[in-house]
Amino acid sequence: KLTMSLNSFILLNEENTQGPKRNTECLENLELQTPSSLQDNPLQQLQLSSQEVLEKAKKSGRSKCPRCNSSRMFYCYTCFVPVETVPTKEIPTVKLPLKIDIIKHPNETDGKSTAVHAKLLAPDDVTIYKYPCIPEYEEKKHEIALIFPGPNSVSVKDIAFHLQKYSKKGVCDSDDDCSREPLLKQAKTEPKEEKNSNECISSSTSEGTRLKKIIVIDSTWNQTNKIITDERLQGLLQIELKTRKTCFWRHQKGKPDTYLSTIEAIYYFLVDYHQEILKETYKGQYDNLLFFFSFMYTLIKNAKCCAGKE
């Protein structure tokens, strides 16, 4: 599954038929575990901003959205803003190296989507569209990739090579009309002010192969077919994150543990992109994308543990 619930720790009460009231009281009084007791938490090494604001909001309960006045926990998943008990200034902001378009399935429950996390934490670089609203990508296939597993998906480290082929096809319409040797010569001899096909190809090789945007589908795995088969997404380079395992607590049965939630897919892609494409040492630059996710992971893990003891 590609989504999660922000109120999952509340939903756990509904599933615990033996004692929902006691479980709620247990959860409300639950404190975050100390680092020493989180040895089995795969998210504990993240370099996150202080989550004290979320801990306080959890204790105070649901609050109003400052825009629509709906009662929410932590943030409003329809307005993409924190609730009144979570000051915006206490929420970290992450600057991303490229833009992200999230295509959300129309039947996906807003409150269960992790796509909101990306929008809240990287507002300048993330745009959420509700299907069937999808931008036209046809003219920019050489600089866009779709994160989705499939038979033709490639790894992050191979992005530049494959986008270069997309660039050539975009200019020449066929691989047969393109030649690498003229590209190198034209790059040195053609004046910048003269715009011809050879220079365009040269430009595509040097600049067009830089990835500028990724697309992520926000949906349950069983609902993805409707979006992934849309003609507007056909022909895009597909990326698969084969080495990462999900920490999502509502992972869909029957699917590989490498099928990540939306926010996990975005985060792990960026970490790999930073190392494999930008060739820079990763120092936690994007860890705060999991600011809400890691907090919920701990809450739900603790709630399940508490419920089990009841």
Task: Please state the domain count of the chain.
Answer: 2
**Are residue 83 and residue 217 in the same domain, yes or no?**
no
Predicted confidence (pLDDT) per residue in 160-204, tens digit = 889 888 765 554 444 444 333 333 333 333 444 444 444 443 343
Model confidence at 90, pLDDT cuts 50, 70, 90, reads very high
Question: Comparing 132 with 308, which gets the higher pLDDT?
Answer: 132
Tokens of 67: 């825009």
Beta strands in 112-244 (DSSP E): 126-130, 144-147, 213-218, 237-239
- Specify whether the CB–CB gap between 289 and 263 falls below 8 A: yes
Are 232 and 139 in the same domain? yes
CB 154 within 8 A of CB 162: yes
Domain boundary among 47, 71, 87: 87
The residue range of the domain holding 63 is 55-87
State pLDDT tens for residues 147-163: 998 888 999 999 988 98
- Kindly give, in sequence order, each residue whose CB lies less than 8 Å from that of residue 27, ignoring residues fewer than 6 positions away: 9, 12, 13, 299, 302, 303, 306
Look up residue 65 and give its two tokens: 């959205």
Which pair of structure tokens corresponds to residue 261? 């939630």
pTM for this prediction: 0.74
- Residues 128, 74 share a domain: no
Same domain? 125 vs 224: yes
The band of 297, judged by pLDDT with boundaries at 50, 70 and 90, is confident
Tell me, rounded to whole angstroms, the distance of Cα 111 from its chain centroid.
16
Q: Where does a domain end: 87, 109, 131?
A: 87
* 215 phi-psi bin (left φ>0, alpha ψ -120 to 50, beta other): beta
pLDDT digits (tens, 9 = 90+) for 20-39: 344 434 434 433 443 334 44
- The answer to whether residue 248 is domain-embedded is yes
Q: What is the pLDDT of residues 273-291, one digit of tens each?
A: 999 999 999 999 999 999 9
Token couple for 262: 């939306």
207-231 per-position pLDDT tens digit: 435 899 999 999 887 788 889 999 9
Check if the beta carbon of residue 136 is closer than 8 Å to that of residue 232: yes
